[in-house]
Structure 1
Amino acid sequence: MSHSEQIQPTASMNTGMSGAERMPALSTESMDAAQRAAAQELIDGPRGAVFGPFIPLLRSPDLMSRLQKVGEYIRFHSALETRINEFVMLIVSRQWTQQFEWRMHYPLALKAGVAEDVLTALGEGRRPLGMREDEQIAYDVCEELARTHGVSDFTYQQAVAQFGERGVIDMLGLVGYFSTVSMIMNVARTPPMSSSYLPPLAAYPA
């Protein structure tokens, strides 16, 4: 596979965002040396391609290089169980109405063991019923962070008891990372891949 084939444009479709994509994939020929190096670093890593948030991020290759290393840790080396990791990614995606990340991580969350009914409720902007105990704690951390910009002593104590201090920090890092890439893609109007069977997220309920 050539370098240019590993820089994957996203398909044009109804994404729930108004207006055309602002920062489409760059051609290899249009990149400067720093952009080509940053793209190759991503291609050589576990992701294997430049896609999703890295398409707009490539406009700032030094930022992309640093940020993608955080994302690599969050995705592949976190102290959190994969099921919780994927669930938190979807909570943040729902909070930001981030279409690419929702469609990418929904099947991964199902595969990791999150119940479909839980994800359906989450997608509709409702507190899901039937969450496992650790999922409820993760949901409460994310919900309180979004609503109050902090967490209560009760929620903090539950989170530390369930996930440990390292797990709590990794969860907060996960929320911060996915909030960052969600903001970037929402501003860049990065569409999701059209192969997903999921409909676009509706605007977050008021």
Structure 2
Amino acid sequence: MSTDFPPRVAQGSTQPWRERLPLPAADRMDEAQRRAAQALIDGPRKGVYGPFLPLLRSPELMDRVARVGEYLRFDGVLAPRIRELVTCAAARHVSNQFEWLMHAPLARQAGVAEATLEALRQGARPRGLPADEEAALDFVQEMLRQHGSSEPAYAAALQAFGEQGVVELATLAGYFVMVSWVMNVAHTPPLAGAQGEPLPAFPL
């Protein structure tokens, strides 16, 4: 087991643990990989980390995924509080430590209540939410569980966020599930020095 990431934090439970697709050495990258990595460094992320470590094996895919994520995170119509809450819900749904430990503090800074985040972390449904958070979580968690949306959940999300917001809400959740799957397969660990409580295993 890597000494940098204790068992409760390292992504993946296979023993012995290893990060399957870490950042390639600079002298082993081809020109397309170097260009894609530099684009991330020059963009709002300012570095190559998280899902972009395994995605660097397919630099054109990485570039396209990165551009979708940049829009959803930095330019979309959803308020930061809603965006970060939904990202945390997606990370919890697929038990991804990297996204949870990165976005739970951002959600807290954006105004999501500590009790809401702790309920999510434990795998419970948060209660007593503001109306827009209630609508977002109902819509997203229903979509993640049932692969669609009931009329009540859709109507509440539509009223809260409008048609563009509903489309971006669904895409945001899907985006973070997708990149979390990539990291789950790659055993991509959290950033070194990530703070906060990691996700526990769901209760049996």
- Normalised-by-shorter TM-score class: over 0.9
User: Shift of the alpha carbon at 1:26?
Assistant: 1.0
Could you tell me how far apart the structure 2 residues matched to 1:43 and 1:96 are? Answer: 27
User: Shift of the alpha carbon at 1:16?
Assistant: 5.2
Could you tell me how far apart the structure 1 residues matched to 2:100 and 2:27 are? Answer: 31
Could you tell me how far apart the structure 1 residues matched to 2:144 and 2:185 are? Answer: 19
Partner of 1:17: 12
Counterpart AA for 1:176: G
> Aligned match of 1:105 in 96, 103, 123?
103
With 86-95 and 18-27 compared, the bigger mean Cα shift is at: 18-27
Partner of 2:81: 83
Q: Indicate the SS of the match to 1:128.
A: coil
TM-score by length of 2: 0.93
With 189-198 and 79-88 compared, the bigger mean Cα shift is at: 189-198
Partner of 2:148: 150
**Aligned residues with identical type, % of pairs:** 49
Counterpart AA for 1:105: H
Q: After the TM superposition, list the runs of 4 or more consecutive aligned residues in structure 1 that deviate by more than 6 angstroms.
A: none
Cα deviations across residues 39-63 of structure 1 (Å, max 9, x unaligned)? 1111111111101110110011010
Could you tell me how far apart the structure 1 residues matched to 2:31 and 2:103 are? Answer: 32
Aligned residue pairs, count: 196
Say what the alpha-carbon RMSD is for the aligned residues.
Answer: 1.2
1:39 maps to 2:37: yes
Counterpart AA for 2:122: E
Contact 2:49 2:191 in 1 (8 A): no
Partner of 1:8: none
Could you tell me how far apart the structure 2 residues matched to 1:174 and 1:146 are? Answer: 12
